[in-house]
Amino acid sequence: MNYYNKIKDTLIKNEMYKKAKDYSKNKNDLNSYYEVGRLLIEAQGGEDRAKYGNKIIKEYSERLTKELGKGHTITSLKRMRQFYLMIQKGAPLAHLLSWSHYIELLPMKDMNEIKYYINIIEKHSLSRTELRERIKSHEYKRIGYKEELSEPKVNTLIKDPIVIKTKNISEKITEYALHNLILENMESFLKELGIAFAFIGHEVKIKIGRNKHSIDFLLYNVKFNCYVVLELKATPFKAEHIGQIKKYINYVDENIKESFNDKTVGVIICKEVNGYVLKYCTDSTIFATTYKIEN
């Protein structure tokens, strides 16, 4: 088989298709680059020998550039080869993604991580820039994503740590300072917190018996149809934090939550989490995570 001519024909047809049917160019791009990757692997003698076949890629790149023009660099052909191998290993060929999305995913080795990002790109229509920002922030690792979670709850989708942005990093961060940093860029904080959070209020005044209290932040999660009580702690996690937030959760359940809402969830954002205290003091409605201050 003349692999070069096959690759050349595939790329020419792809360019012609994009000009005629621009609305579905993503699908054709991906199918074409997958096919080019497959042909490159075969031309190099199979997957086991592909990494030693860069001489063929260099030759094909020079010939394609000479005959078809720019855009057929050694790097682009190597990416197509890598793309084919990634799909072969189990990554979805998702036509809602663009080739530029896949370029951001190619360096990843963990298939669960690749699947996670493909899933959120499709769900939230992320641009390449938005995807790159999420990858850069190590979202997958911070969210503790597990493929086997068939029915995730709101507290299983919150990142750890929560990155809070500020231009001036103080040596000592108080709860008051944390509160203000979040208020300064609430939209960014809600996106950082997790999926589908909406802001209801801050320093929400409530009365339990004769005592007056203030909930740091009251949020709502649209995806899971529940209120979220969020408390800030500039100290390491302590057992007494559970009693405090549990009171607030019960208050919201009894006085704010509607019958069609799911049970209220509590989130404690603190400086440090003690896993043993958390394990024996909390239930499924309370979750603790840490914060990290960055420029």
Q: Are residues 159 and 137 in the same domain?
A: no
Q: Are residues 107 and 195 in the same domain?
A: no
Nearest-angstrom CA–CA distance, 58 and 78: 10
82 domain-assigned: yes
Number of H helices, E strands in the chain: 13, 6
**Number of domains comprising the chain:** 2
Task: Among 143, 172, 202, give the residue marking a domain's end.
Answer: 143
Q: Are residues 121 and 164 in the same domain?
A: no
Q: Are residues 129 and 98 in the same domain?
A: yes
Q: How far is CA 15 from CA 2, 102, 169, 170, 210, in A?
A: 21, 19, 50, 54, 73
Q: The domain spanning residue 272 has which CATH number?
A: 3.40.1350.10
pLDDT of 159 = 79
- How many C-beta atoms surround the C-beta of residue 81 within 10 A? 24
Show Cβ contacts of residue 52 under 8 Å, excluding neighbours closer than 6 positions.
44
pLDDT of 246 = 93
Q: Are residues 176 and 135 in the same domain?
A: no
CB 178 within 8 A of CB 232: yes
Task: Among 143, 170, 196, give the residue marking a domain's end.
Answer: 143
Give me the sheet containing 265-270, strands edge to edge: 162-165, 286-294, 265-270, 226-232, 211-221, 197-208
pLDDT of 153 = 56
Task: Among 84, 119, 143, give the residue marking a domain's end.
Answer: 143
149 domain-assigned: no
Q: What is the span of the domain harbouring residue 265?
A: 154-294
Nearest-angstrom CA–CA distance, 153 and 145: 12
| List of E strands, the chain | 162-165, 197-208, 211-221, 226-232, 265-270, 286-294
27 domain-assigned: yes
Q: Could you write out the DSSP letters of every residue in 48-82?
A: HHHTT-HHHHHHHHHHHHHHH-SS--HHHHHHHHH
Mean pLDDT (10-residue bins), the chain, 295 residues: 87 77 69 92 75 80 90 92 94 90 95 91 89 88 55 61 78 84 90 87 93 95 90 90 92 94 91 61 75 85
Q: What is the DSSP letter of 154?
A: G
Q: Are residues 126 and 190 in the same domain?
A: no
187 domain-assigned: yes
pLDDT of 152 = 47
Q: Are residues 94 and 159 in the same domain?
A: no
Q: How is residue 103 written in tokens?
A: 């370029």
SS3 at position 89: coil
> Model's pTM, two decimal places?
0.58
CB 114 within 8 A of CB 86: yes
CA angle 129, 29, 95 (to 5 degrees): 70
Q: Are residues 288 and 161 in the same domain?
A: yes
175 domain-assigned: yes
Q: Are residues 184 and 105 in the same domain?
A: no
Strand-pair category, 226-232 with 211-221 = antiparallel
148 domain-assigned: no
Q: Are residues 204 and 285 in the same domain?
A: yes
Q: Are residues 257 and 126 in the same domain?
A: no
Encode 185-198: b = buried (16+ Cβ within 10 Å), e = exposed: eeeebbebbbbbbe
Q: Are residues 183 and 89 in the same domain?
A: no
pLDDT of 15 = 81
Sign of CA pseudo-dihedral 76, 79, 83, 85: positive
